[in-house]
Structure 1
Amino acid sequence: MSGPIGITRRLGELLLGTEPRLRGRLTMCLLANSLYLGWLLFIALFIVPRGLVSPGVGQFLMAHQLIALITFYPLVRSGLTHHWSDPGLVLPQIAWACLALVVGYAVSPIGRAVSLQTMSLIVVFGFLSLRPRAAVWTGIGMICMLLGMLVWCILSRQENFEPRLQTLIIVTTCFILALLTWQSHGFAMRRKRMSADRKALAAALQEVEVLMQHDTLTGLYNRQHLQTRLEAERERARAGGHRFCVALIDLDHFKLINDRHGHAMGDHVLVAFARQAQAVLRETDTIARWGGEEFLILLPDTEPVDKAGIALRRLQASLRGAPISDAEPNMRVTFSAGVAEWAKGESIEQLLDRADAALYDAKRQGRDRAVQAPLPLPAHPAPP
């Protein structure tokens, strides 16, 4: 994009970046920099030329503002503070600005009212950024600075400093700062609670999503989720010419296990099978509990005669060598499987019907085996 709008956008990205949180921090830094620059110009063009402070104090105050201008914004913009507890350097900036204001209050009678007003503004500046503890310590630090400055001015007998009047002003200002600090702490606590609530809500939503996609007993995906994955894989195969298979698995004699050993042992068998299946299948494969003691495996980029058969044989071998339960150390689980390769133009329902027919053949042939479903016959055009 060209023209004034494009230039403005590029300038904004250069100054503030593109990441939303960083933009917020840098916006606050630029706002603080405007205050530093304003004070720098005020000291250089008004206070020093009129002799309201000594040249040494004037140079100190100008150097103080200049250091802030060239330090805080560049540090935040560089990203070095991203993982710090205070990535926007809010607390250091507040402390740095308050130091200059306290010194200015002590040595420049003409700027005292502005100094106190600016300190109150600085507390408000921290409302949206400081954490609860930092907000409290900021207020305490500012009050201690003012009281310390008051004591120093009284003891050093500063010129044009009326102890009674200034004590009343400083004490009143400290009271206002205490109220603002209390408000800032309240804002910080509300932000903290809101952040905790958002995190809790996000965790709850994630947990609900997991429950909606997974079987509660085995931890595998459930039928609904795998149905969605099957449709997505079918679309991918149609678009790119990929091949994929499904393997419908049924645990052999599972009803007999429930009848002899109880449903608790049956559940243990289901969990043990799920654990072994997850251990031996590829990361790209997806297994789900299809219903009861039936499981369905989606094997993308796979042909039945090679990778599908290898995966199922590996799973069979793993089950033969793995004890199911310490209570029944000799118990072993076998399964029958029907494997079907998706044929172009075939629906998922048709694919699963062929896998189910192959599973029935595996059971009829004696179980503990996998049978490959034949590809569907091509449709012949109707005679004229």
Structure 2
Amino acid sequence: MNHRMESLVDWLLGDDPRQRVRAARCGLACGLMLYSAAGMTYLVLMGMAPPWPVAALVVVGLGGMAGFYAAIRSGANLRCADPSLTVPQMAFALAIGAVAYMLAGRGRGAVFPIMMVILMFGLYSLTPRQVRRLSLLALLLFGSAMALMVQLSPAIYRPEVEFAHFLVIAIMLPAVSMLAGQLSRLRDRLRSQKAELQDALARIQELAHRDELTGLANRRHMAALIEAERERCERLGGRLCLAVLDIDRFKRINDTHGHPTGDRVLGAFAKEAQAALRSTDVLARWGGEEFMLLMPDTPITAARLSVERLRTRVEAMRIEHGAGRDNAPLAFTLSAGVVELQRGERPVEAIARADRALYQAKQQGRNKVVSG
């Protein structure tokens, strides 16, 4: 039963989420028009409204709303500037309401609430200017209907009564416009807050995966990537290499030239490394001046050559760190330990081997690449 109901809803509203919302709103408007048609039929049965003009109005009203629904359901509305067709639907409904007022006779008071419902229908989606224009249209349509019926049927549409009705409309419609303005400002504020929240969440997510100084993956994200790549290699039989990279004598750089210079060194190294490595390799800031390099589908020989090329490029780098005559461009070097992850070996064990290889590189005088 539930499946049948879902299938029926999908058939009525379609699959596209935005079109479903538009079709649902149009369906609600169709329901309001059907309710109005039932009210006019009741007035006919009570002898207060002429049968054939009311029948014609019902056909035009329901047919027009069915046309709007068909335009939305078929996708023809997407060629319009306003795909929701809210303004045309409301203008059409107001015109039908004005004619209904002329036909309702002594029961015409029931038309006013429907007119207000029509205007309220667009408060949450239209701009204040659009609501003001529709309110002015309603005032002109109903004012014209009242003036015409005062001339055609003064016994029922008495001038003093119609003038009072017109004053009521003239008071209510500006109130609707003011409410539309307040809702529009509230909508804009909520939209701005939502955008700010989305930006903040994106920033938090970025910080959760990226090192803020270098823009590289951070330690937590890299650990997850290593584990995922290890599982892939275990499943498909690939080869995976890891390298621990360390900038030599980085503490001396900070102590001698200051932490801002040290930060520039880290940033420059990250940029140079990303330019030198393959697109499939992943470099992360592992901590302080230490970096972790993930090289998928790479045997140990190729991995060592790749890191050796990076070491050579780093050795040739120079960092500007001051404006004085004695502040020559700063040079620095890199030491690295490279290992290939063995089948059944945990990442933490492979990283420990890479750390030991890095220690050997330091012991051999730095600016070295050692495989473990």
Range into which the TM-score falls when normalised by the shorter chain: 0.7 to 0.9
In the alignment, which residue of structure 2 is the partner of 1:362?
361
In the alignment, what sits opposite 1:31?
28
Which residues in structure 2 correspond to 1:234-253 (within 5 Å)? 234-253=230-249
Mean CA deviation greater in 332-341 or 269-278 = 332-341
Q: How far apart are residue 311 of structure 1 and its match?
A: 3.5
1:194 alignment partner in structure 2: 190
Q: Deviations over 1:205-252 (max 9, x none)?
A: 222222233222222222222223223333333333332221111112
| Contact 1:248/1:295, CA 8 A, preserved across alignment | yes
Q: Deviations over 1:308-353 (max 9, x none)?
A: 2353244345445654337567544431111111112212221111
Shift of 1:168: 0.5
What's the TM-score, normalizing by structure 2? 0.82
Whole-angstrom distance in 2 between the partners of 1:369 and 1:74: 73
Contact 1:136 1:181 in 2 (8 A): yes
Q: Is the 8 A contact 2:247 2:335 kept in 1?
A: yes
Relative distance call for 1:358 and 1:133 in structure 2 (3 A) is: farther
SS at 1:130 equivalent: coil
User: Is contact 2:48–2:106 with CA below 8 Å preserved after alignment?
Assistant: no
Deviations 1:79-117 (A, max 9, x none): 565697754322221122112212332465356333322
What does residue 370 of structure 2 align with? 371
What CA deviation, in whole Å up to 9, does each residue of 1:171-230 have, x standing for no partner? 213323333444444444434433332332232222222223322222222222222322
**In structure 1, what is the Cα distance between the partners aligned to 2:314 and 2:145?**
80
Residue from 89, 92, 96 that aligns with 2:92:
96
Establish whether residue 145 from structure 1 lines up as the match of residue 141 from structure 2.
yes
Deviation, structure 1 residue 169: 1.2
Q: Is the 8 A contact 2:232 2:238 kept in 1?
A: yes
Q: Tell me which residue corresponds to 2:219.
A: 223
In structure 2, C-alpha distance between the alignment counterparts of 1:61 and 1:171, rounded to whole Å:
28
Distance 2:201 2:354 in 1: 35
Q: For residues 317 and 87 of structure 1, what CA distance do their matches in structure 2 show?
A: 60
Matched to 1:32, the amino acid is A
Contact 2:318 2:329 in 1 (8 A): yes
> What whole-Å deviation, never above 9, does each CA across 1:139-189 have from its counterpart, x for those lacking one?
3442343335445656xx233432221110122133233334444444444
SS in 2 for 1:97: helix
Cα offset, 1:62, TM superposition = 3.6
User: 1:83–1:269: structure 2 CA closer, same or farther, 3 Å change rule?
Assistant: farther
> CA 1:147–1:46 in 2, change beyond 3 Å: closer, same or farther?
closer
Gaps of 5+ in 1: 374-384
Matched, 1:67 2:64: yes
Give distance in 1, aligned partners of 2:99 and 2:66: 18
CA 1:285/1:359 → structure 2, altered by over 3 Å: closer, same or farther?
same
- After TM superposition, list the pairs within 5 Å mapping 1:223-302 onto structure 2: 223-302=219-298
- CA distances 1:46-80 after superposition (whole Å, capped 9, x unpaired): 86xx995697997577445423312x223333456
Q: Secondary structure at the match of 1:295?
A: strand
Residue aligning to 2:2: 5
Q: Which residue of 2 aligns with 1:352?
A: 351
The alignment covers a number of residue pairs equal to 365
**Residue 128 of structure 2 contacts residue 177 of structure 2 at CA under 8 Å; is this kept in 1?**
no
CA contact (8 A) 2:48 2:104 kept: no
Number of the residue aligned with 2:210: 214
- Tell me which amino acid in the other structure corresponds to 1:17: G
| Cα distance in 2 for residues equivalent to 1:237 and 1:22 | 45
Query: Alignment partner of 1:34: what SS?
Result: helix
Give the distance between the partners of 1:144 and 1:251, measured in 2 at CA.
79
2:315–2:331: 8 Å Cα contact kept in structure 1? yes
Measure, in 2, the Cα distance between the counterparts of 1:362 and 1:83.
67
Separation (CA, whole Å) in 1 of partners of 2:277 and 2:124: 51
Structure 1 residues 8 and 290, CA, compared in 2 at 3 Å: closer, same or farther? same
